[in-house]
């Protein structure tokens, strides 16, 4: 039976991105059929400031969904099969996520307050990153992986995850200097995340949960990171970010 499917149609009014089709966290990609084929995955970058900010917010999150899936799988494997090469690759995954945080939040504070934050507020007044179902297992898996590896072997992973936390805080300080998230302002911050809220997060970011074959998944992943690379070549954020993302995608 296939996973529940969202209907992420609303966002096409504000962003021109193909729907990101993903299985539920923990679910495997399905084998490709003999007659499997791929339609072209086209991702265009707008030229105006507000349009670029919204584009980066959504496209950067699409890439983050893919990195979260990678981190969950890699950390789970490290718990069962400690491997120094996988430790380094997983640390690179955290570095890629740090670059994506900066990319997604690269707009000015004014554009964030005038354009992006109102988009989330109008969609749901309590909209929150805590609703990201793909990220939810990652912190617990990281703790278990570090314990399984031991402090010395896990050192690259510990350093990259710490740098990732600092990168997240840096973007938050830049875009929301008063620290008031929509979730906190709504008064719902102390409540547990529901499946309905997880579905809302998917819907906002144009993510559909369904069975996905390996070739389609890899094609969309390649298209997302290639589009970010092209954007960063024309509109740099920091030179090292494009290099980090390029290295990450080539090593998958």
Which DSSP string do the residues of 182-239 spell out, in sequence order? HHHHHT-TTSPPPHHHHHHHHHHTTEEES--BHHHHHHHHHHHHHHHHHHHHHS-S-H
Q: What is the CA radius of gyration of the chain?
A: 18
pLDDT score, position 29? 95
Within the chain, how many helices (H) and strands (E) appear? 10, 2
pLDDT score, position 5? 46
Domain membership flag for residue 5:
no
pLDDT score, position 4? 44
Q: How far apart are CA 149 and CA 154, in angstroms?
A: 6
pLDDT at residue 1 above 50? no
Q: Which domain holds residue 89?
A: 44-251
Domain membership flag for residue 1:
no
The pLDDT tens digits for 178-223 are 767 665 665 666 678 999 999 999 999 999 999 999 999 999 999 9
How many domains does the chain fold into?
A: 1
pLDDT score, position 6? 47
pLDDT score, position 235? 87
> Three-class SS of residue 95?
helix
pTM for the model stands at: 0.91
Q: What separation in angstroms does the CA of 185 have from each of 129, 171, 173?
A: 14, 19, 17
Domain membership flag for residue 88:
yes
Domain membership flag for residue 26:
no
Say if residues 130 and 193 touch (Cβ distance below 8 Å): yes
pLDDT at residue 7 above 80? no
**Max CA pair span of the chain:** 54
pLDDT score, position 2? 41
Instruction: Please state which of the ranges 78-82, 92-96, 188-192 shows the lowest mean pLDDT.
Output: 188-192
Domain membership flag for residue 7:
no
């Amino acid at each position: 039976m296939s996973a529940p499917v969202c209907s992420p149609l609303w966002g096409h009014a504000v962003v021109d991105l193909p729907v990101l089709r993903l299985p539920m966290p923990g679910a495997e990609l399905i084998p490709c059929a003999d007659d499997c084929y791929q339609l072209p995955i086209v991702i265009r970058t707008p030229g105006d400031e507000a349009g670029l900010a919204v584009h980066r917010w959504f496209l950067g999150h699409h890439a983050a969904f893919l990195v979260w899936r990678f981190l969950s799988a890699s950390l789970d494997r490290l718990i069962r099969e400690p491997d120094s090469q996988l430790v380094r690759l997983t640390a690179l995954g955290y570095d890629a996520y740090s670059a994506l945080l900066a990319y997604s939040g690269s707009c000015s504070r004014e554009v964030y307050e005038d354009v992006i934050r109102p988009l989330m507020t109008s969609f749901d007044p309590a909209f929150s990153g805590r609703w990201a179902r793909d990220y939810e297992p990652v912190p617990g898996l990281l703790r278990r992986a570090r314990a399984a590896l031991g402090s010395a072997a896990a050192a690259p992973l510990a350093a990259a995850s710490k740098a990732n936390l600092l990168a997240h805080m840096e973007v938050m300080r830049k875009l929301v200097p008063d620290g008031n998230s929509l979730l906190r302002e709504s008064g719902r911050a102390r409540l547990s995340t529901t499946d309905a809220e997880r579905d809302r997060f998917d819907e906002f970011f144009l993510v559909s949960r369904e069975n996905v074959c390996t070739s389609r998944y890899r094609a969309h992943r390649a298209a997302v990171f290639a589009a970010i690379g092209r954007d960063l070549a024309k509109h740099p954020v920091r030179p090292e970010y494009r290099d980090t993302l390029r290295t990450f995608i080539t090593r998958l």
